[in-house]
Chains A and B, each alone.
Chain A
Amino acid sequence: MINSIPRKYLFSKGVDQYFTEVYLAYKFVVRFFKEASRPPFHLREIINQCFEIGVKSLPLITLTGFIIGIVFTQQSRPSLSEFGATSWLPSLVSIAIVRALGALVTALICAGKVGSSIGAELGSMKVTEQIEAMEVSAINPFKYLVVTRVIATTITIPVLGLCCGFVALLGSYLNVHSFESTSIVSFFNNGFSTITFIDIFSSLFKSLAYGFTIGIVGCYKGYHAVKGTRGVGRAANQAVVLAMFLIFIEEVVIVQMANWIRYY
């Protein structure tokens, strides 16, 4: 449905627009949970989106993870070797990757790649009346386009984060092995000795939150794109910027929560 914008401003144009946007975003999220809990569930489309988002992002994620593992290890070595503590490299890298880097790097890459793609795709569907075409064919476009994509990002981004973390550790191992001739068993034993259940759980929880954020922001911006090609460009751009901003906020909040659980 097309709704008219209120003509008289309560505060000022900017303030009113900000609160309207927040309210619309809130309604969008609430609608997602309502629609997601009711059949039909469009499982085939969810699988299709998981493939589009997950499999097609895998090469970029693994390559980035591998490079991060090597570079992070390489850059940490001089500081540790000053104290003769290069044997701590596996645990240092493991903590950094499992607690933060794996999930965060994956989320930031996906916010750029997946978020912009969802924003642009839905935005272009909106401005070319494809979403309205679904509505008049008695198909619920929110359910078919938004719910499936958000579920797909929420499922696939934790999996991609796991892959990124694993490949980053592998990259780190190769670097450590080439300098210290450490065996793979010793590297992973040493690395995982410092990792706790809370680290893994908080990382997984973060990935789920990032996945949901990327999906819902991309869909929201695309679904509310204004007419014209400029609207599509703006939707894609705003999807990336807002998703990244929210990811950093979530990172701070979840890290604080994990630390609170860890120490109390």
Chain B
Amino acid sequence: MEEQKHITNEEPVISIKGLYKSFDELEILKDISLEVFRGENMVVLGRSGAGKSVLIKILVGLITPDKGIVKVFGQQVNKLSPKDLNTLRLRMGFSFQSSALYDSMNVRQNLEFPLTMNVKNLSRQEINNKVEEVLHAVGLIEKINEMPSDLSGGQRKRIGIARTLILNPEIMLYDEPTSGLDPTTSQEINTLINEVQKKYNTTSIIITHDLTCAKKTGDRIAMLSNGKFVKIGNFEEVFNPDKYQEDDKQIKSFFNYNFIQ
């Protein structure tokens, strides 16, 4: 594996070493190692079923790894008590592939819910201000009283991102942010991811199989294939066909497949 080292003296915000995860007989992740630094947009690129979503669910403690060390802000995620894990989760925002909006609540209630459950003694005015601020950030203030079922796919993704922003996370985890969206809406989401990174100074991990999304949003790209990172670097380094070796068949096939598409 050719790994492009991030030249910095800084401690990584996210550090993964020797991570393994399997479900029954199926090995999903095999000896995964990755470091993500503050303010960086790291794209994890791979085909469907490559284990990308499993990787970020391990980062937030939704799935326990079989082996390996996963540290976020220097804390080993699978060793934390439930209370400490929740404290850590408050510093991380997770945007789900399906948006996972609470369908019994309207947009305002969806945004208020994590805020009122985690931050005590907020006045009504403070809650309203915060909700309106994040809705302005994702450009959907006019949808404040709509139900999730009345929103389009792209709008749901934006509201999902707004819901994570309301707790001012330091890390944003995006699970397939552009999947199921048309090219124009995908482009809007890519722009939003970059805007969020600039405005809120977040560190992001973007899980995707969309090369355009990877190119537009990623500072670095980690290519996941057969449960391993086969290449890590910036877009040009990862997708330079001249650099391919004969054994880089996985990258070649992914590259060809995406560009033919």
Q: A4-B23, A5-B24, A7-B25 known; A133 and B118 CB under 8 Å?
A: no
Give Cα A7–Cα B27 distance, bound, in whole angstroms: 14
Within 206-230 of A, Cβ neighbours of B (below 8 Å) are at: none
Q: Which residues of A contact B226 (CB under 8 A)?
A: none
Contact between chains at B118 and A132 (CB < 8 Å)? no
**Across the interface, which residues of B come within 8 angstroms of A138, CB to CB?**
86-87, 89-90, 114, 117-118
Per the bound structure, the CA–CA distance linking A130 and B164 in Å amounts to 13
CB-CB under 8 A for A128 and B100, given A135-B62, A136-B62, A138-B89: yes
Please give, as numbers and ranges, the residues of chain A lying within 8 Å of B90 by CB-CB distance.
138
Q: Which residue of B lies closest to A131 (CB)?
A: B100
With A1-B64, A4-B23, A139-B114: A133-B89 Cβ-Cβ less than 8 Å: no
Interface residues of A in 50-80 (CB under 8 A from B): none
- Closest B residue to A136 by beta carbon equals B94
Contacts of B96 in A (CB 8 A): 129, 132-133
Task: Kindly state whether residue A37 has any CB partner on chain B within 8 Å.
Answer: no
Quote the shortest CB–CB distance from A144 to chain B (angstroms). Answer: 8
B32 within 8 A of A: no
B238 in the interface, Cβ–Cβ < 8 Å?
Answer: no
Asked if B89 and A136 make an inter-chain contact with CB atoms under 8 angstroms apart, the answer reads: yes
Q: B161: which A residues are within 8 A, CB to CB? A: none
Cβ A133 vs Cβ B24 within 8 A: no
Q: Does B102 contact A (CB under 8 A)?
A: yes
Residue A2 at the chain B interface, CB threshold 8 Å:
yes
- A178 at the B interface (CB under 8 A): no
Q: Quick check: is A137 within 8 A (CB to CB) of the other chain?
A: yes
B32-62 interface bits toward A, Cβ cutoff 8 Å, 1 = contact, 0 = none: 0000000000000000000000000100111
CA distance A132 to B164 in the complex (A): 13
The minimal Cβ–Cβ distance linking A234 to chain B, given in whole angstroms, is 20
Chain A residues with CB under 8 Å of B92's CB are 136
Q: Is B150 an interface residue (CB 8 A)?
A: no
Docked Cα-Cα span, A128 to B97, in Å, equals 10
Which residues from 84 to 140 on chain A have a C-beta closer than 8 Å to any C-beta of chain B?
A: 121, 124-125, 128-130, 132-133, 135-140
Residue of A5, A130, A138 with highest tally of chain B CB at under 10 A = A138
- Minimum CB–CB distance from A264 to chain B (whole Å) comes to 47
Give A138's nearest chain B residue, CB to CB.
B86
B91 and chain A: residue at smallest CB distance: A138
Q: Is the CB of B23 within 8 A of A133?
A: no
Give complex CA distance A135, B64 in Å.
Answer: 14
Q: Which residues of A from 1 to 17 have beta carbons under 8 Å from B?
A: 1-2, 4-5, 7
Choose one: A125, A128, A135, A137; the contact of B167 (CB below 8 Å): A137
Find out whether the CB atom of B23 lies under 8 angstroms from the CB atom of A137. no
B103 pairs with A130, CB closer than 8 A: yes
Closest Cβ of chain A to B63, distance in Å, is 5
* Interface size class, chain A: 20 to 34
* Min CB–CB distance A99 → chain B (angstroms): 38
Contacts of B103 in A (CB 8 A): 124, 128, 130
A121 CA / B102 CA spacing, docked (Å): 11
User: By the criterion CB–CB under 8 Å, are A137 and B89 in contact?
Assistant: yes
Find out whether the CB atom of B86 lies under 8 angstroms from the CB atom of A133: no
Chain B residue with minimal CB distance to A144?
B117
Q: Give the docked Cα–Cα distance between A139 and B110 (Å).
A: 13
From the candidates A4, A5, A121, A128, name the one contacting B98 in the complex (CB within 8 A). A128
Contact of B100 among A5, A7, A133, A139 (CB under 8 A): A133
The smallest beta-carbon distance between B66 and chain A, in angstroms, is 8
CB distance from A201 to the nearest CB of B (A): 37
Assess the B24–A4 pair: CB atoms within 8 A. yes
* Residue interface mask B155-167, A partner, CB < 8 A = 1: 0000000011001
Q: Which residues of B contact A133 (CB under 8 A)?
A: 94, 96, 100-102, 163
Which B residues touch A144, using CB under 8 A?
117
Chain A residues contacting B98 (CB-CB under 8 Å) are: 128-129
Q: CA of A129 to CA of B24 in the docked complex: distance in angstroms?
A: 22
Residues of the A chain whose Cβ atoms lie less than 8 Å from the Cβ of B87: 138
Interfacial chain A residues near B62, Cβ < 8 Å = 1-2, 132, 135-136
Say how far A68's CB is from chain B's closest CB, in angstroms. 33
Interchain residue pairs A-B with the least CB separation, the first 3? A133-B100, A138-B86, A137-B114
List residues of chain B with CB under 8 Å of any chain A CB. 22-25, 57, 60-64, 86-87, 89-90, 92, 94, 96-98, 100-104, 113-114, 117-118, 163-164, 167
Q: A2-B63, A136-B62, A139-B117 are in contact. List 15 more A-B contacts (CB 8 A).
A: A2-B62, A4-B22, A4-B23, A5-B24, A124-B103, A125-B102, A128-B100, A130-B102, A132-B62, A133-B94, A133-B96, A137-B117, A138-B89, A139-B114, A144-B117
Supply 6 A–B pairs (Cβ within 8 Å), ascending by A: A2-B62, A2-B63, A125-B102, A132-B57, A132-B96, A133-B163
